[in-house]
A and B are shown apart, each in its own frame.
Chain A
Amino acid sequence: MTMESNHHLNFLAPQPDRSWLGSWIFSTDHKRIGILYLVAISTFFLVGLCLGLLMRLELIAPGGIIMGPQTYNALFTVHGVIMIFLVVIPSIPAVFGNMILPIQLGAKDVFFPRLNLLSWWLYMFGAGVAVISLFTGGGPPDTGWTFYVPFSTMTKSNTTLSVFGVFILGFSGILTGLNFITTVHRLKPSTTPWMKLPLFTWSLYFTAWIQVLVTPILAITLLLIILERVIGLGLFDPTKGGDPLLYQHLFWIYSHPAVYIMILPAMGVISEIVPVFARKPAFGYRAIVFSGFVIATAGSMVWAHHMFVAGISDTAVMVFSFLTFVVAIPSAIKVFNWTATLYKGSIYLGPPLLYALAFIFLFSLGGLQGLILGSAGTDMHVHDTYFVVGHFHYVVFGGAIFGFFAALHYWLPKMFGRLYNYEWATAALFLKFIGFNLLYFTMLIMGVQGMPRRYYDYLPEFQNLQVISTVGSWILAAGIIMMVINLFYGMRYGEKAGDNPWGGATLEWTVSSPPPAENFEGEPVLTRSPYDFKDIKAPHAE
């Protein structure tokens, strides 16, 4: 920024009093911890991606192509566990929550910096245990990421250890959530009114609450699986008076809200990018905040929509179907508000906005598919088919992960001070968008035609669509590789970004790029609303 802030070393500068490795893995600086998460999560994402590609390759023709059924069953289990618990759930909060939240708020760090480092260590420990479970005992788990009983209590694969890994990962998430809630309450500058907090901060705040409230339920459920396997507790075993449906309830009481843990932060990213690139305030700021609150609360009351044909009572189906439709409303409101933000703006079509638009399209499409699943009658037909697989990839990949991609293109220049190549970014997005829809839209069609999920083999009539889907996976992967190369190259050798390349009005754009180790000198005072762009230049927005 100015001579003055250059005087303070930026957070990436070497720390001569520590070894290079120690300066990272023992750092309590929220920005460095964010980068630690970025490295770990990206690595696991690429691993999960490879597993997905292998599955798609196996499905290119009926019968066995490159593996047997046991390997296939292990693949979709490990793909699911990695992508859900190691990638998507932590993704935006752990990476960009850590990197950006304190700066955006006007704080020097999170409220508990050492707890923050512990969260990362717990994440790595849990991930390590999950990885060890692949190579020890009875082989990689083959239960599906849902660990449904009684199968998960009977299978000989190494389920106990991988469940324990996920159990540990849960604590990492709980502690991060706790940290963010405390940070927002305790470190928000006293001069900043709540209704002037950036929308990204709001989304992380709501997400943190869900994480703190529901993750313990997952922890208990996983512990019960372990007890069931190790000492034969019998809580889920009908021959001992237990009930397998109890497990499904417990599992989904966590895992449905988990979808919002994944998607709310991405919505926050989009709510940040769209106003900046439209150069006008977020349309309906209060409505966006309030809908975030409604999603966080109502989202905890719809879990049994995963169980319409599981053997629950018809009345329960009616109630949960209705509540599921209710939850669709706040998401729709957000989409309408983003669209309206573009109206009468002065739009710059930079890569972050293009990624945000891809998010809005894919998420809307995914959300609309949710209506088919929320409606009890149609759910009976498409439940546990490829339709569900396609649907949650639209929401979780097209939503949360595309939101993560948008955040990478929006905030990495802040963290590393350099820009990437815009043409490459756009071309990579185009490839991903095409590949994504080939890969997953075909799954929707197959699902409606009656192709069940988690099938190693299939009837010949599905082959054409399966082939298109597999080809889509290659195009998608090519786009992702292209994006990774572009970002990597850009962060090292790209053009200097300057402090405020897009013309953002939130606090992170007032500090230098990369930010100084201490973020701010003293407590910053807000001089404008988070989406008041008057007189701010956007030198690199297109």
Chain B
Amino acid sequence: MIPQILNPMEQIDHTFLIIFSISAFILLGISGLSIYFLFRYHHTRNPDPDPIEGNLLLEFVWTIIPVILVSGMFVSGWTGFKAARTVPVGAYPIKTTARMWAWNFEYPNGKIADTLWVPQGKPIKIILQSLDVIHSFYMPAYRIKMDALPGRETYTWFLPMKTGEFTVFCAEYCGLKHADMSAKVVVATQTEFDEWVNDFTTPGAVVATGPQKILFDKGCLGCHSLDGSVKAGPTFKGIFGRKTFVIKGGQEESLTADEAYLRRSILDPKAEIVKGFPDLMPPPMDISPEDLNTIINCLKSLP
């Protein structure tokens, strides 16, 4: 029904323009007319009102004209929406995972990054999923928005036109750091993009096939970094055997992060809170003993 080459962004901007102009015209018309009436029929100028009760023809006219106008707006708006829902064949798929309060982008070759790199001029399909609450993938530069839901896949697409840097926001309120849940979008030339996507050592990148994949899959890396930087939770860098201060039952305690501690803090994260961090971590919904062992071994092996 809709030609696939239609760029949703252009169509949506077109609808904006149509609705804004018609609205401005109607608002100015009504306001102008009212002000004129207030002046012209002020009781000092028009002491005897004319008791008109109505006019059927007028009622008919000002019902029909808006019907026609809004029908046009509906069609125009729907066309833009449909375009944003109709992914061109051969679009480049990027699996996008939302969690409190970070985005991760997984490329077809297995690279995972916290920055969304895309090649210029190639349609990009964003396949969305959330690991916890509802988030929303919002890229104002391309007028697209789609909610990321737990337990259900959604999608959207866009056509990166100019190279440059843009932002993805989270548009669905998701708790404490909702406002910080943004990611950088880099539109690069195809060559630059190819170089980046095949380089697994870029900052923020995670090798999805490596032993650390479990940390990504379970959502740990949303709040715990691998490179020593402080996110919502303490970093994983050098975590095994680290001397740690925790708050336990309101009391401060010091301990060395051994295997037993790591296990406890995954299964019952509220019992001991690392000093200086908020009590945010949700207990795991369901975790198999094998997965738990894999995580612990992975943490032990980290530098």
Contacts and interface: CB of A to CB of B under 8 A. Distances in A.
Interface in B225-269: none
A449 B179 CA distance: 16
A344 B16 contact: no
Contacts of A448: 16
B147 A371 contact: no
Given A309-B146, A347-B43, A368-B26, A155 B175 contact: yes
Among B46, B62, B84, B152, the one with the most A-chain Cβ atoms within 10 Å of its Cβ is: B62
B51 A384 contact: no
Contact of A318 (B70, B78, B140, B151): B78
B150 A456 contact: no
Interface in B43-65: 43, 46-55, 58-59, 62-63
Contact of A343 (B48, B52, B133, B169): B52
Contacts of B167: 459
Contacts of B12: 377-378, 380-381
Nearest to A357: B34
Contacts, number: 261
Given A322-B74, A377-B78, A371 B175 contact: no
Given A309-B145, A364-B27, A372 B19 contact: yes
B70 A329 contact: yes
Contact of B145 (A281, A335, A380, A449): A380
B166 to A, nearest CB: 10
Contact of B53 (A283, A309, A380, A458): A283
Interface string A433-457: 0000000000000001110111111
Contacts of B74: 321-322, 325, 374-375
Nearest to A344: B50
Interface in A88-108: none
A268 to B, nearest CB: 18
B282 A151 contact: no
A314 B140 CA distance: 21
Among B27, B74, B79, B282, the one with the most A-chain Cβ atoms within 10 Å of its Cβ is: B74
Nearest to A529: B53
B282 A154 contact: yes
10 contacts: A69-B176, A239-B285, A284-B55, A326-B70, A329-B66, A339-B30, A339-B37, A344-B41, A360-B30, A375-B78
Interface of B: 8, 11-12, 15-16, 19-20, 22-23, 26-27, 30-31, 33-34, 37-38, 41-43, 46-55, 58-59, 62-63, 66-67, 70-71, 73-74, 76-85, 132-134, 136, 138, 140-141, 143-147, 149-152, 154, 167, 169-180, 282, 285-286
